[in-house]
A and B are shown apart, each in its own frame.
Chain A
Amino acid sequence: MRAAAIAAQKKLGRKTVVVLPILYPRELFTAMDVHTVELWGPPGPPRGPEAGRIQPYACAVVRNALAFLASGGADAADAVLFPHTCDSLQGLATLVPDFGGWKKPVLRFHHPKGEDRPSARAFARAELSSLACGLERLTGETLDAARLDAAIALHAEIDRIKGALLRRRACLDLDDPALYRLLRRGEFLWPEDHLAELQAAEGRIGKERRRRGVPLLITGYVPEPMAIFDHLASGGTFVVADDYAAVGRRIPLGPPARGEDPIGTLAARTFAMPPCPTRAAAPARRMEYLSALFRRSGAAGVIVHVPKFCEPESFDVPAIRRLFSGIGAPLLHLEGELEADLPAQSVTRLEAFAEIVESARSAP
């Protein structure tokens, strides 16, 4: 699908940038008429022997990405962007261009780490300007403020609908596999095309609750393998609240605050996102957010779904366990390695968890 999306955009004369996880200012790319395709691994076995250049105790996202890039999987793209999400992605951002695996241009993007503060605001702004310069070099075009404003509005609308779909999913006439497929198509579709699909889906939000089964909150890195949703459905559960870094955590908590200029608006957006460990949000703030999400959504249990060796996500697991144990909510901690399909052991654990949550709900 991603290769087809790149080919389609090429025909329209657009350049494509492959983007590693997680956050990046899509608005800048759209304003520069650059198509982005996200690379979350891809899941499954590494697409070539180059994964062996990174030790097996690094996460599958970086090992698979290295194999994919080095085997030519992304050769149709014109550049690659490495957001500085964690140590492993930071390592990949020097390993691939400097020691082999990618010969085309490389862009890098640093997030300010830690809580909102004046230095972080100023840096976010400077870093966005620096990335804009990189895109200008790549395209040979100049960033136009009016086009950036339009792109900000476009993505704000995309985020608004995604937020609505996630928040009101219990009344949505789409099951989890279909909803997640739709939301994740934004990882590779041109934004206007994705918006059209989202608008159609928004029309399917009803007034009545349509989803039946045990509602769950799910948090983690990326919903891979996507088969997890099929197994959840077959166990009689569904996701009612999402805190995946790849999905829910990329939707701002509110509409964008206007900055002094479009870059200022984008910088402000950095600090309007849900708390995420990869950007070092204070654990207390994150736990407060998860607690509110759990209460508001009416979830009856929690699944923590993290890739093995993922430090930012794993460090928060004990606090999440404490939080939900304190409020008596059943919790399942599921580790994965970006497999193509869910291993049978995990399926059994999901089935058992569904039974536990169901019996806890029906207990007097």
Chain B
Amino acid sequence: MIGRRVSYEFMSRVAVPLLSGAKGWRRRLLSRKGGRRTGPFGPPLECARKLKELTARHYLAGRYADGAVPVAWVTSGFPVEALRSLRFHTVYPENHGAICSVKRLVPELSEAVEREGYSRDLCGYARADLGSLAAGKTPVGRLPRPDLLCCCTNICQTVLYWYRALADRFRVPLVVVDTPFVYGDALPHHVAYVVDQLRELAEVAGRIAGRPVDSAGLVESMRLAREGTRLWDECLRTSLARPSPWTGFDSFFHLAPIVAMRGTGECNAYYRMLLDELKDRVARGVGGIENERVRLLWDNLPIWFHLRDLSTLLAREGFNVVCTTYASAWAEAGRRIDPADPEGSAARAYLHVFLNRDLPHRLSLMKRLCEEYGATGAILHSDRSCKPYSIGQIDLKDRLVEAGVRSLVLEADHADPRAWSAEQADNRLRAFMERFP
């Protein structure tokens, strides 16, 4: 146990920063030799290197986490603050699924579970994650075995079925925080229900960690979570500038810390750095793409496996995605967190997550984003393996068109390239772009 703990601390605090430093030095050397990226994009964000370091540190430390510290596998919308105060190492299978998709591993991993009887129609993240376990393969080296599974239904019900399968496999406790869908504002008994569940979570997590939740630690992690959300929001709002200093596609990658490290000082330090860089780019007029002509809104998850090609296609024509409902979702709900009322405010914050709210709220957010960010067009990614995000998009598109926003529904999948036709999508996107003066 002590040996595992020493390895865990060494890897997370010493080895990874050293390795990343060496990589950075090599990269800088190469860039002096002319290795900088060219094409329709602006200069790459310096922070991207730090982001890679953060992610690498998280996953490398994770390899040594089981047996050293308590480990929880957690859904992205889960109220993690209590786990932070108990020093859990958290793993986000959705984030892992996104990495698998970027590395184009999903078909292989998915086939491993399709052989067991999982349907290809199920969520690509779930198939990637369960497939990774079945095939014993992951691009991050190794995921630590969980002591606890934590699932919150505020992003979808799919996570519930997915985590039930994980609980069955690992035979560890599953904590469900069930967040009733919100129409308008959450009802008082819905808030009370979530508060009760947060108390049950504290009890189970405390039992596994071997100590009760420390209230000062909880308040501190909540303060950090709220601050992190504010910083992320400020980063996104730099895109109000013309040209936008980055693209919405960049923001998909840079939201990893607010998803997977929310409530930590590390996360906030990262966003301060990113914010400084973005502000600097705004001051110098440096854009995320070279020639920003048309500004767009993106709805739904990214098409991870095709992001580079998609962003290049758009950027070449001067189209920049300057706002996304997905990245904004992480800037929205956290504002409700109030360290003075840890349970009640967390319940309200995690209930009012974007995907847990009705379509009028979603439409008003999309309209507001278009208006504020000057987006004259919208791409709604109809995501085959994310039904809760996709149902309603046809009507949303019609309403955006009525509001004067040229809109396109693009059929794809966030993780599985087998549900994607590049040629057809490119044709549709080119026809869409031709509609703009």
The interface residues of chain A lying within 8 Å CB-to-CB of B161 are 277, 280, 311-312, 315-316
Among residues of A, the one whose C-beta sits closest to the C-beta of B115 is: A318
B168 adjacent to A284 (CB under 8 Å) = yes
Give the residue among B192, B358, B384, B399 with the most A Cβ atoms within 10 A. B358
Interface residues of B in 164-202 (CB under 8 A from A): 164-165, 167-168, 174, 176, 178, 180-181, 183, 187, 189-190, 192-193, 196-197, 199-200
B24 within 8 A of A: no
User: How does the 8 Å CB contact mask read for B376-410 relative to A, with 1 for contact and 0 for none?
Assistant: 00000010100110111111000100000000000
Tell me whether A321 and B117 are in contact in the complex, defined as CB-CB below 8 angstroms, given that A90-B157, A280-B176, A284-B168 are known contacts. Answer: yes
A112 within 8 A of B: yes
Interface residues of B in 194-247 (CB under 8 A from A): 196-197, 199-200
A44 within 8 A of B: no
- In angstroms, Cα B328 to Cα A134, docked, is 34
Tell me whether A88 and B387 are in contact in the complex, defined as CB-CB below 8 angstroms, given that A54-B394, A99-B392, A119-B197 are known contacts. Answer: yes
For A, the interface residue count at a CB cutoff of 8 angstroms equals 56
Given A118-B200, A282-B167, A335-B119, 12 other A-B contacts at CB below 8 A? A58-B390, A88-B391, A92-B391, A98-B360, A99-B399, A100-B395, A113-B157, A113-B160, A114-B176, A123-B192, A308-B119, A318-B116
B162 within 8 A of A: yes
For B, the interface residue count at a CB cutoff of 8 angstroms equals 50
The interface residues of chain B lying within 8 Å CB-to-CB of A280 are 160-161, 164, 176
- In angstroms, Cα B116 to Cα A172, docked, is 37
B384 adjacent to A108 (CB under 8 Å) = no
The minimal Cβ–Cβ distance linking B154 to chain A, given in whole angstroms, is 12
> Which 4 residue pairs are nearest across A and B when measured between Cβ atoms?
A91-B391, A119-B196, A315-B161, A114-B176
A192 within 8 A of B: no
**B358's contact among A94, A284, A333, by CB below 8 Å, is which?**
A94
A311 adjacent to B387 (CB under 8 Å) = yes
20 cross-chain CB contacts under 8 A: A52-B394, A84-B181, A87-B157, A95-B359, A98-B358, A100-B395, A113-B153, A113-B160, A123-B189, A123-B192, A123-B196, A126-B189, A127-B189, A130-B189, A283-B164, A308-B119, A309-B387, A311-B387, A317-B119, A318-B118
The interface residues of chain A lying within 8 Å CB-to-CB of B165 are 283, 315, 318-319
A11 within 8 A of B: no
**B391's contact among A54, A122, A123, A126, by CB below 8 Å, is which?**
A54
B434 within 8 A of A: no
Tell me whether A95 and B119 are in contact in the complex, defined as CB-CB below 8 angstroms, given that A84-B181, A126-B193 are known contacts. Answer: no
Write the residues of chain A forming the contact surface with B, with a CB cutoff of 8 angstroms.
52-55, 57-58, 62, 84, 86-88, 90-95, 98-100, 108, 110, 112-115, 117-120, 122-123, 126-127, 129-130, 277, 280, 282-284, 308-309, 311-312, 314-322, 333, 335
**A84's contact among B180, B360, B399, by CB below 8 Å, is which?**
B180
Q: Is the interface of A mostly helix, strand, loop or mixed?
A: helix
B178 adjacent to A113 (CB under 8 Å) = yes
- In angstroms, Cα B190 to Cα A123, docked, is 8
B116 adjacent to A123 (CB under 8 Å) = no
Tell me whether A95 and B117 are in contact in the complex, defined as CB-CB below 8 angstroms, given that A84-B181, A86-B157, A113-B153 are known contacts. Answer: no
- Tally inter-chain residue pairs, CB-CB below 8 A: 156
The interface residues of chain A lying within 8 Å CB-to-CB of B411 are 55
A318 adjacent to B113 (CB under 8 Å) = yes
A309 adjacent to B121 (CB under 8 Å) = yes
Among residues of B, the one whose C-beta sits closest to the C-beta of A106 is: B183
The minimal Cβ–Cβ distance linking B20 to chain A, given in whole angstroms, is 38
Tell me whether A117 and B117 are in contact in the complex, defined as CB-CB below 8 angstroms, given that A87-B387, A98-B358, A126-B192 are known contacts. Answer: no
The interface residues of chain A lying within 8 Å CB-to-CB of B176 are 113-115, 280
The minimal Cβ–Cβ distance linking A336 to chain B, given in whole angstroms, is 13
The interface residues of chain B lying within 8 Å CB-to-CB of A129 are 189
- In angstroms, Cα B118 to Cα A284, docked, is 17
A123 adjacent to B157 (CB under 8 Å) = no
- In angstroms, Cα B187 to Cα A120, docked, is 16
The interface residues of chain A lying within 8 Å CB-to-CB of B358 are 94, 98
- In angstroms, Cα B180 to Cα A308, docked, is 25
The interface residues of chain B lying within 8 Å CB-to-CB of A312 are 157, 161
The interface residues of chain B lying within 8 Å CB-to-CB of A308 are 119, 121
